[in-house]
């Protein structure tokens, strides 16, 4: 994944995120504009996003939706290398880029069923993505129960510092979900998704540090920064379970969204997410929505801060430092082992990454949003989120983990 893809939940999700949307909303036509700014502390990563979203009903059975998003990205992100000895200041790689993305879909209703095909596209200077998806929602039980089936496929290509040519990355997602009206005041949503990724899954901007101590330190690989690109498996399978309860409380004139998500992938990562959001009506025109989200994950089984070995010897080797103290022979060199004592350089592990996003960590998101109905057909939106990430392994430098502010303002026009 491109390191510029920051860790905050934007309304501008495409592809798979849209596949996971519940049954379509059959409402009046509307247009939305939103501006978002994401800013990490210490001037690390900044993202400015402008987005336009529309929905229009084409009588009698079709709803069209579309979106266009423009991101301006800049700043610096950890390159995967450890900090210099005695320091917690991790090395950073600067970047600047722009992203244009969008999707178009049509929800077609016939009888009890709604079919929604979608086409999505996203492009940056170093990342291109084309996605197609199809969801099928079927109503039962007097429309109190809706079953949802979905399938999406993304066809991506990317390059970067450690991968100069564009290479392929793909993703397929299967979805099975149910929306159940428990009472006039309660709705339960349960989803199971199966996500399969293939192709180049390493981050082309993230490197690692291989360190080894030879008898003469002049031959040692540099102990700082990165000296080799990371290497992740070329396949990943991730099943995810999700449950959400929406409960309206008449006495308080508000509603609660409580959700939990768990996922596990064959890279060894388990993650858990708990989300809480309250929507409070403050009179007929104002809704205030505080939220909290907690996320925790275990580390990938190939994650490490530093790896033992020589970046120039991926298969490992035997060596012999000659008696002059300045000549190093390896097995295969003429005259090996000569008059020196032999030692061994270990080979590289099959997979390795120092990307902090694969470490054991937790995140906290606090925020509040407000929606104000300015006129009958115009509403104003604003929100603020504070994002905190913390490492849990006691080894990864704390300077790797970002904290950030995210703010949003927008307008909604209904027709």
Tens-place pLDDT, residues 241-253: 999 999 999 999 9
Does 122 map to a domain? yes
Q: Quick one: pLDDT band at residue 17, thresholds 50, 70, 90?
A: very low
pLDDT digits (tens, 9 = 90+) for 374-384: 999 999 999 99
pLDDT number for residue 26: 52
Does 309 map to a domain? no
Does 101 map to a domain? yes
Q: Which of 362, 369, 392, 393 is nearest to 7 (CA)?
A: 362
Does 182 map to a domain? yes
Asked if pLDDT for residue 3 goes beyond 80, the answer is no
pLDDT digits (tens, 9 = 90+) for 205-260: 999 999 999 999 999 998 888 999 999 999 999 999 999 999 999 999 999 999 99
Sign for the pseudo-dihedral over CA of 414, 14, 133, 102: positive
pLDDT number for residue 21: 42
More reliable by pLDDT, 325 or 19:
325
Q: CATH number for the domain including 251?
A: 2.40.170.20
Does 342 map to a domain? no
Our count of domains for the chain comes to 1
Whole-number average pLDDT of the chain = 92
Task: State pTM to two decimals.
Answer: 0.91
Does 289 map to a domain? yes
pLDDT digits (tens, 9 = 90+) for 61-98: 999 999 999 999 999 999 999 888 777 788 999 999 99
Q: Which of 67, 119, 116, 77 is nearest to 97 (CA)?
A: 77
Does 188 map to a domain? yes
Does 347 map to a domain? no
Q: Structural domain of residue 121, as residue ranges?
A: 16-26+55-64+75-206+234-301+355-404
Q: What is the Cβ-side half-sphere exposure of residue 167, based on CA atoms within 13 angstroms?
A: 17
């Amino acid at each position: 994944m491109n390191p510029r893809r920051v860790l905050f939940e934007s309304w501008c999700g495409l592809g798979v995120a849209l596949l996971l949307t519940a049954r379509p909303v059959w409402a009046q036509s509307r247009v939305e504009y939103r501006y978002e700014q994401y800013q990490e502390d210490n001037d690390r990563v900044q993202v400015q996003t402008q987005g336009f979203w529309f929905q229009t009903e084409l009588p009698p059975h079709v709803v069209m939706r579309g979106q266009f998003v423009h991101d301006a990205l800049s700043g610096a992100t950890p390159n995967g290398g450890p900090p210099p000895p005695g320091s917690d200041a991790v090395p950073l790689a600067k970047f600047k880029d722009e992203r244009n993305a969008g999707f178009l879909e049509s929800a077609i209703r016939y009888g009890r069923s709604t079919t929604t095909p979608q086409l999505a596209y996203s492009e940056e200077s170093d990342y291109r993505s084309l996605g197609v998806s199809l969801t099928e929602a079927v109503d039962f039980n007097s429309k109190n129960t809706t079953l949802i089936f979905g399938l999406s496929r993304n066809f991506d290509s990317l390059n970067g510092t450690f991968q100069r040519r564009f290479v392929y990355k793909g993703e397929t997602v299967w979805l099975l979900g149910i929306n159940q009206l428990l009472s006039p005041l309660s709705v339960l949503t349960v989803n199971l998704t199966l996500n399969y990724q293939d192709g180049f899954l390493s981050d082309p901007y993230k490197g690692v540090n291989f360190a080894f101590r030879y008898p003469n330190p002049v031959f040692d690989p540099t102990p700082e920064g990165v000296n080799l690109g990371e290497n992740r498996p070329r396949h990943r399978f991730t099943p995810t379970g999700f449950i959400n309860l929406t409960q309206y409380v008449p006495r308080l004139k508000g509603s609660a969204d409580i959700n939990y998500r768990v996922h596990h992938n064959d890279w060894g990562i388990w993650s858990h997410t708990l989300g809480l959001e309250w929507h409070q009506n403050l009179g007929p025109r104002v809704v205030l929505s505080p939220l909290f989200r907690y996320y925790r994950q275990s580390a990938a089984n190939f994650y490490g801060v530093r790896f033992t070995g020589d970046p120039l010897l991926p298969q490992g080797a035997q060596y012999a430092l000659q008696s002059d103290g300045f000549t190093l022979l390896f097995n295969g060199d003429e005259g090996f082992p000569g008059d020196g004592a032999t030692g061994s350089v270990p080979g590289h592990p099959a997979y390795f990454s120092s990307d902090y996003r694969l470490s054991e960590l937790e995140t906290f998101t606090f925020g509040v949003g407000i929606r104000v109905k300015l006129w009958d057909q115009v509403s104003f939106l604003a929100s603020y989120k504070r994002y905190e990430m913390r490492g849990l392994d006691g080894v990864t430098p704390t300077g790797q983990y970002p904290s950030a502010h995210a703010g949003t303002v927008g307008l909604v026009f209904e027709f």
